[in-house]
Structure 1
Amino acid sequence: MNSNRKLLYKVVQLVCVVILGIVLFNIFQLVDIIQGTGRVINYTGIIRGGTQRLVKLETNGIPKDDLMLYLDGILNELQTGQGQYDLDKLDDIPYLEKLSELNDYWDELQTEIMIYRSDPGNKEKVVQMSETYFNMANDVVGTAEFYLEQKTKVLTSLELVMVILLGLLIVISLQQAITEIHLIRKNKELATAAYYDKPTGLPGRLSCEEKIWTPMDRKQGPYCMVMMDLNNLKWVNDTIGHSAGDTLIKAFADILNHLTNENVFVGRYGGDEFIMIIKNHREEQIQQLLKEIELATILYNKKSEQLKIQYAVGYEYGGDSLPQMLEKADEKMYLNKTAAKADTNDL
């Protein structure tokens, strides 16, 4: 289930990234188009106002060929997209049609201005044509502004899509982060559980193995390996119940746990098996520790009416390696266990 969810997240992320890339590409293009359209609108306004100024000067006897060439250059660049003013040719048919009409009328107006220069009798016609040209230029500006408005709407829609995609990616990333955090915590809990025996509060099997296989430090020797096993746990589980068996294990673990210090390691090695790794102790001190365990067990058994701790123990002192010492301690513990069973049978 988790694998399928991770795969789904990856697929959704990939699709979102691809779509986001396409959206960003189109946004950049639209921004460039919008900026170019803004310049087109400005220069179309220049044509509109400049033509009015040209006609006014011409009808007052002041020829302005340079202004006429300037306006002619702008109009030509608006139609071709090529020239010195960095103007774009808008990809909009209504705009281009109106611009073509404006250009044709501009040619007619220029012709009438030239006629006026040699024969001022057509002044009224030139003025009238300039007003018509002004209105036509207004229409071109209006069409370009409508084109700009449409592109701006598309840009706004794409920006909304981009925000949604980014939001989705953030949500997925957060979900993945949360899942990873939960996974890390779970792994940490599993690792802790592997090294720590929660029911008894003692180090668990992996901690015991780690201690056993860690080379001995001769400066802290001699070492002693103690192996202990509860003799009556199966009987308690079968007769009284597993909860009683758990209580017995915990009680014995508490007795052993009171002996732990920097030189005495105690751990739960298996279901009913416990080990002690002792260093910096003489053998007499080892025997004294085992006596303390025995006395604590007797005290517990006196207080407990139903549950009685019975255990076997064996130890190996001053060996060459802890794994070898564990084997020998286990053999001695087994002999002790067998002897205890024999005594029970004799009784």
Structure 2
Amino acid sequence: MINQEVQSDKKSKNIIGIVQSCLILILVVLIICMMIQISRLQGTARVINYAGLVRGTTQREVKLEITGNQDEELINYLDDILSGLRYQDGHYDLVRLYDKEYQEKLQIQSDYWDKLKIEIEAVRNVGYENTDIVNMSEIYFKMADETVFAAENYSQRIAERIRTIELLSALDMLCLVILVIIQTMAAMKMAVKNKLLAQEAYTDAHTGLPNKRACKELLINKEIIKEPTACIMFDLNNLKTVNDTMGHSAGDQLIMNFARLLRSVIPEKDFVGRYGGDEFMAVIYHTSRTEVEEILKCLCEEKDRINSNENQMPVDYACGWALSADDRTYTMQMLMDKADSDMYANKQLYKRDNFIDRKEKSLYNPY
């Protein structure tokens, strides 16, 4: 089941990674397309402006010629603008619009301008009454108007493309943000899951106390203990007897009762863990001999109080402890070993006293 979840998570991550890569690639392409369109749009307004200027200036030139005011400089000015519009040259920094409709209209206008210049020369020689200059100027005005309109359409189409690309880019980035949020939420979920798994790995499922692995992690530190620290080892008495006579569920209850007893008396800042089946350990930090003895006294009093309530499973234990203040060369493992040795001696004393007590009872009750 766990392997299936891991594989499913891995598959989801791979899919999200592929989608994210595709979205990034699409965004790069969109940015490149936008840069191309912007480059095409640059100078378009200037082209439209000068195309319109040609339209009006040609009308002015025709009027001047009709009234007998020749202006060769104005004709050269118009030639220069038309050449700049067609070939991107001249003195006006004009760009060439790569639009088929516009180029066709501009070509027709330029060709007709050449005819109009011939007609202007005729006006100068024979007078405008004997030429078709007025009608031709009107035709040219319409041609110039169509060229300006084509340039404006081209500019409008580019602007629409840019807006479309902007919309697609915004949508793409929104998808990327959503994916990032999904990944972040998945990472947070995984972190919580890992934290819970870590807690489970270091927590005794039966008592809720740190388990043997957690105790071992505490003992693995090889540094010399600098602050006065005490290690207390506990061994729960009569667990096997309870298991054999009342069942393992009763034994489990006895273990839980003892765990609650330890945790209720030993300060919250200090460590209490289940070291083995019926063995528990406590580490009291920044302490003294007086404080440890007071804790053990309180434990004994609380145990007696619990047992006085007609408890069918009386709690009893053997314990031993060691204090690092007695010797500055203690590591945590050494401190625990000394406490364990002291606890073992206490356990043996308990067994001996219990044996003597049973023997004395058998002498008074031989049957």
1:217 to partner: Cα distance: 2.5
1:38 to partner: Cα distance: 2.6
Partner of 1:46: 53
Larger mean Cα displacement after TM superposition, 80-89 or 195-204: 195-204
Partner of 2:288: 280
User: What SS is found at the alignment partner of 1:73?
Assistant: helix
Partner of 2:13: 6
1:173 to partner: Cα distance: 1.4
Q: Is 2:223 the counterpart of 1:217? A: no
Whole-angstrom CA distance in 2 between matches of 1:14 and 1:263: 49
**Structure 2 residue ranges without an equivalent (≥5):** 1-7, 363-367
Whole-angstrom CA distance in 2 between matches of 1:304 and 1:6: 59
Partner of 1:297: 303
1:309 to partner: Cα distance: 2.2
1:57 to partner: Cα distance: 1.1
CA RMSD of the aligned region, Å? 3.4
Deviation sequence 1:306-331 (CA, Å, 0-9, x none): 43324332334545423123224334
Whole-angstrom CA distance in 2 between matches of 1:70 and 1:97: 22
1:168 to partner: Cα distance: 0.6
User: What SS is found at the alignment partner of 2:69?
Assistant: coil
**Structure 1 residue ranges without an equivalent (≥5):** none
Whole-angstrom CA distance in 1 between matches of 2:80 and 2:337: 102
Larger mean Cα displacement after TM superposition, 319-328 or 197-206: 197-206
- Closer, same or farther: CA 56–123 of 1 in aligned 2, 3 Å: farther
Q: Is the 8 A contact 1:59 1:123 kept in 2?
A: no
Identity %: 36
TM-score between both structures, scaled by the size of structure 1: 0.82
Q: Is 2:325 the counterpart of 1:315? A: no
Q: Is the 8 A contact 2:209 2:274 kept in 1?
A: yes
TM-score between both structures, scaled by the size of structure 2: 0.78
Q: Is the 8 A contact 1:225 1:275 kept in 2?
A: yes
User: What SS is found at the alignment partner of 1:303?
Assistant: coil
Larger mean Cα displacement after TM superposition, 257-266 or 292-301: 257-266
Deviation sequence 1:99-121 (CA, Å, 0-9, x none): 11111100010111012112105
Work out which of the residue numbers 152, 156, 159 in structure 1 matches 2:163. 156
Partner of 2:275: 269
Larger mean Cα displacement after TM superposition, 337-346 or 34-43: 337-346
Whole-angstrom CA distance in 1 between matches of 2:167 and 2:121: 54
Whole-angstrom CA distance in 1 between matches of 2:243 and 2:171: 61
Matches within 5 A, 1:137-156: 137-156=144-163
